[in-house]
Structure 1
Amino acid sequence: MLKSAPALAFDLTGNGNGKSIVILGGGIAGMTAAYELNKLGYTCTILETRERSGGRCWSVRNGSLSTEITNGKQQAKFDNDLYFNAGPSRIPHHHQLTLHYCKELGVPLQIYNNVNENAYYFSEGKGALSNKKIRVREIHNDLRGYTTELLAKAIDQNKLDTGFTKEDSEKVISWLMAEGGLDPDKLYKASARRGYIEQPGPKNRSGKISDPYTLSEILGSGLMEPDFYNVAEYTYELQMTMFQAVGGMDQIAKALEKKVAANLKLNAKVDSITNLDQGVKVTYTEKGVSKSITADLCICTIPLPVLSNINHNFSGDVSRSIDFASYIQTSKMGLQFKRRFWEEDEAIYGGITHTNNELTQIFYPSNDYQGKKGILLGYYNFNDKAKAVGDLSYQDRLTLALSKGSLIHPQYANEFENAFSVSWHKVPENLGGWAVYTSETRKTQYQALLKPDKQTYFAGEHLTYLNAWMAGAFESARSVVADVHARLSEQRIAYPTTESKG
């Protein structure tokens, strides 16, 4: 007899009674806001400048199109059953609201393998281990071993200024020996943890353990530098278990689009936003025709660098926050290969190879294992490296990805088929990957956008502490829907949606 209460259900009371909301941007935040407002009885219109919904939640497939501000149009030429996620590709297990919407919308999930000790570190340089592909597990275990050896010896010789009792010291040393794989003399020596030169097998084939690299070799080759220690298992958002949508992350956007299809206008570029004494007016261009729409309230999810170039009559504080917003520069490239050599030749199933060159990271797919073909991320980079790569032509980006990638995977030369690159800071509808704040801008610019500017509310990952994640878009959308509903459900007068050609 009890009403069902699914986890994270959004149970707002009251009814919107057809009051009108214009939503700017048909990404995750915009469509989620419309989806929830529809349930409450509001009349919503979503204006999306692209020919597709989803915003940065985009899986590049055969026929996908992109035009960047310094490059012309490019079209993906992948096989029909292949794709790569140009935007979000991972869902942390603790992003419960994202998981909730996947469940509510019927989007099946699968495990995303973010941590793979069999992937590589590759350091360009002049060290003994430079310009060689080194298995992640080898570096992880060697550094763990040498570090615990040093600490165990220091504790054993009473050379640490601690308040340990003898019993405490014995317990810590016991843990260090287990953690680092130390021998009874508290020395680090290679074990099966870091892999084999010859694998164990039948009869008398016990396997041959590889020798450890020396600490000086690791240090001299730059393998302890930050390029290699954005370690996934240490970072809260990247800790396993992680998930991905089956068939591409765009399945989440597509599932949302089905729910709000009647509200969604594609190819509708916003030209101006004007707060009126009562309501708000938005002008936009749809397929070359100038139009306008008036509504009770507006929810603007447009990325701030793009919004900065749109005419509006917002207050000075809000306008300054928009104009001085900072977004990260980031780029990805998908490379299609005629066979999955990373699996067949090198036993790499998912995970990430880290480099200190322009590639930064190579991602291996966590789907269709042992399939015939596949797409891996030839690079995923940020900041200065992303800027340098983004300034290249599409062809020069490919040349770079293939030449640098071949240093790690010489199979590139024979197996490569097609490529597609996205530099998000060059995409005119985004002009950046995601919002970046300092402690100071969180106190100033960020705060100004958390409040509505008269009849205009702001939403998106850039108005959360979950920047770069779909969870930020979902959380922000819900927060703004709650604010809008609290405001309009108390009012008595509605300002009906009207449209006119300008």
Structure 2
Amino acid sequence: MLKSAPAYSFDLPGSGNGKHIIILGGGLAGMASAYELTKLGYKCTILEARDRAGGRCWSVRNGSTNQETGRPAITAKFDDGLYFNAGPSRIPHHHELTLHYCKELGVPIQVYNNVNEGAYYFAEGKGPLSNKKIRAREVHNDVRGYMAELLSKSIDNGALDAALTKEDTQKVLEYLAAEGGLDIDKLYKASARRGYAESPGAGNLPGKIGEAHKLADFIQSGLLDPDFYNVAEYTYELQMTMFQAVGGMDMIAKALQKQVSASLKLGAEVTNITNLSEGVRVTYKDAVGEHQLQGDICICTIPLPVLSNINNNFSGEVSRAIDYITYNQTGKIGLQFKRRFWEEDDHIYGGITHTNNDLTQIFYPSYDYLGKKGILIGYYNFNEKAQRTGELSYADREKLALEKGRLIHPQYDAEFERSFSVSWHKTRYNMGGWAVYSGETRKNQYPALLKPDGNVYFAGEHLTYLNAWMAGAFESARSVVSSIHGRVTGQQLVYPTTK
């Protein structure tokens, strides 16, 4: 029922004539590169250190395993059919290339409910509204209403309307009244848009509109603090409509893996990358021992914190870029519950609850609505909060998620079954969630990795302005394929090409 994705299959002229391309990393960027290069006549070998492909595009299911530094490997013990996306979980409607690959590879998608006004805001603290779960629609409508009231009063008193005609001023006041839900006296009063204290029904049940919270209470309770500034509907990448792959985001990785399986070596950890006068030599180790592989060109998609610890003979400029560009700290925990109480008791179907504590966010699943069981993402945190959480043992991470989560959902105690947590900055072969650039590193280090270093090219989300998104991996893959194919065939190819 969706229109055809506007992105298009690669149709570059010329042939790779069997040139051997060694691709380091079997994530989305590596596999997409191999997929496109193989269609152009290249021979590809993908070396992936893990025993699975997909990299950060990973859905945790029953039997999934993970290895963090300094900790034993763990295995998920969820019920069959349940999962949570430990890495990317959302596809923006304007990420054309991601949607294109879903279409081309036959991966069905479904709507992802990212914005849910029925989810909660929860602020720990000492204010009048602290330590209470408040529906997002209440926060949004009350704050919007009070702000509209303040602005309307200022304009009506001539404080802000010097540049406006009388007619213009009236139009602005009418807009503010509609946007903020103001009454005839330009005062904000609660209306049905923020919800009901008693729901309307049949017969003599008109419903009772909930009372508006005071603006001062929002401020004193911390609900206007930076912890809650990330309003999804204002963020370009998070605006509806959003999508997800049916059955888990790793279905995209699995579809790519099926296409490149003949080129993929799993359990192959790269230990050395050597630029040669002609070609490149890569040393890797697997369960059998150490091996060397020689090819014409190399594409390195290994995350930079991992790459910085692999022996190489890169130029000084490239080496500095690898060391200087940082990745964020981030983690998630999946919590399996006996029943979907967030739907049954709280009427929350998808969306996100925001907090100011170490949970940061609770994600509700956008699949299997009205099912028997389900998995919540019990926290999705970043930076200092993720660092603190990542230092905890697996058991203590679970304890934290339950301790803070039950403040919002007291059903946790009776319904919880088991958990699985991932700290990406501690996960072997990742050592971070995604690249984070400062103005300086974007200007001085980023350009060094956009061009080849001898016979080694670099690709991944970290080499785009789409950091953290699957689209970054796909766009980077196509860009580097264009560069390599142009070099091999002697053509001037500039990405993005036109159809």
- In the superposition, the TM-score normalised over structure 2's length comes to 0.97
Q: Does 1:444 pair with 2:444?
A: yes
Whether contact under 8 Å (2:29, 2:460) holds in the other structure is yes
Aligned residue in 1 for 2:84: 84
Q: CA deviation at 1:288?
A: 3.9
Q: Deviations over 1:269-294 (max 9, x none)?
A: 00100000100000000214100110
Distance in 2, matches of 1:482 and 1:454, equals 17
Aligned residue in 1 for 2:228: 228
Q: Does 1:263 pair with 2:230?
A: no
Aligned residue in 2 for 1:381: 381
Whether contact under 8 Å (2:120, 2:136) holds in the other structure is yes
State the one-letter code of the partner of 1:353: T
Distance in 1, matches of 2:172 and 2:195, equals 26
Distance in 1, matches of 2:428 and 2:256, equals 23
Whether contact under 8 Å (1:62, 1:79) holds in the other structure is yes
3-state SS of paired residue (1:121): strand
Q: Deviations over 1:321-362 (max 9, x none)?
A: 111220000000000001000000000000000000000000
Q: Does 1:145 pair with 2:145?
A: yes
Q: Does 1:108 pair with 2:108?
A: yes
State the one-letter code of the partner of 2:37: L
Aligned residue in 2 for 1:123: 123
Whether contact under 8 Å (2:20, 2:42) holds in the other structure is yes
Distance in 2, matches of 1:256 and 1:327, equals 25
Q: CA deviation at 1:111?
A: 0.2
Q: Gaps spanning 5+ residues in structure 2: where?
A: 492-499
Q: Deviations over 1:157-200 (max 9, x none)?
A: 10115300000000000000000000011000000011001100
3-state SS of paired residue (1:173): helix
Q: Deviations over 1:103-161 (max 9, x none)?
A: 00000000000000000000000000000000100010000100000111111110115
Distance in 1, matches of 2:344 and 2:172, equals 42
Aligned residue in 1 for 2:325: 325
Q: Gaps spanning 5+ residues in structure 1: where?
A: 492-502
Aligned residue in 1 for 2:495: none
3-state SS of paired residue (2:284): strand
Q: CA deviation at 1:7?
A: 3.6
Percent identity, aligned pairs only, is: 71
Q: Deviations over 1:394-416 (max 9, x none)?
A: 00000000000000000000000
Whether contact under 8 Å (1:201, 1:207) holds in the other structure is yes
3-state SS of paired residue (1:408): coil
Whether contact under 8 Å (2:155, 2:161) holds in the other structure is no
Question: Residues 343-354 of structure 1: matches in 2 within 5 Å?
Answer: 343-354=343-354
State the one-letter code of the partner of 1:490: G
Q: CA deviation at 1:5?
A: 11
- Return closer, same or farther for 1:485/1:463 CA change in 2, 3 Å cut-off: same
Distance in 1, matches of 2:55 and 2:101, equals 17
Q: CA deviation at 1:204?
A: 1.6
Distance in 2, matches of 1:272 and 1:101, equals 32
Whether contact under 8 Å (1:359, 1:404) holds in the other structure is yes
Distance in 2, matches of 1:206 and 1:238, equals 36
State the one-letter code of the partner of 1:34: A
Aligned residue in 1 for 2:194: 194
Aligned residue in 2 for 1:500: none
Q: Does 1:203 pair with 2:199?
A: no
Aligned residue in 1 for 2:311: 311
Aligned residue in 2 for 1:341: 341
Aligned residue in 2 for 1:20: 20
State the one-letter code of the partner of 2:282: V
Aligned residue in 1 for 2:364: 364
3-state SS of paired residue (1:322): helix
Distance in 1, matches of 2:407 and 2:383, equals 23
Q: Does 1:253 pair with 2:253?
A: yes
Distance in 2, matches of 1:435 and 1:149, equals 41
State the one-letter code of the partner of 1:72: P
Aligned residue in 1 for 2:485: 485
Q: CA deviation at 1:65?
A: 0.5
Whether contact under 8 Å (2:54, 2:250) holds in the other structure is yes
Q: Does 1:424 pair with 2:424?
A: yes
Distance in 1, matches of 2:46 and 2:7, equals 27
Aligned residue in 1 for 2:167: 167
Q: Does 1:46 pair with 2:46?
A: yes
Whether contact under 8 Å (2:27, 2:56) holds in the other structure is yes
3-state SS of paired residue (2:474): helix
State the one-letter code of the partner of 1:134: I
Question: Residues 49-60 of structure 1: matches in 2 within 5 Å?
Answer: 49-60=49-60
Whether contact under 8 Å (2:190, 2:210) holds in the other structure is yes
Q: CA deviation at 1:439?
A: 1.3
- In the superposition, the TM-score normalised over structure 1's length comes to 0.96
Whether contact under 8 Å (1:71, 1:394) holds in the other structure is no
Aligned residue in 2 for 1:97: 97
Distance in 2, matches of 1:490 and 1:204, equals 79
Distance in 1, matches of 2:219 and 2:422, equals 34
Whether contact under 8 Å (2:282, 2:293) holds in the other structure is yes
Q: CA deviation at 1:72?
A: 1.3
Q: CA deviation at 1:70?
A: 2.7
Distance in 2, matches of 1:136 and 1:7, equals 35
Aligned residue in 1 for 2:402: 402
Whether contact under 8 Å (2:360, 2:380) holds in the other structure is yes
Q: CA deviation at 1:93?
A: 0.3
Aligned residue in 2 for 1:214: 214
Distance in 2, matches of 1:134 and 1:425, equals 32
Aligned residue in 2 for 1:496: none
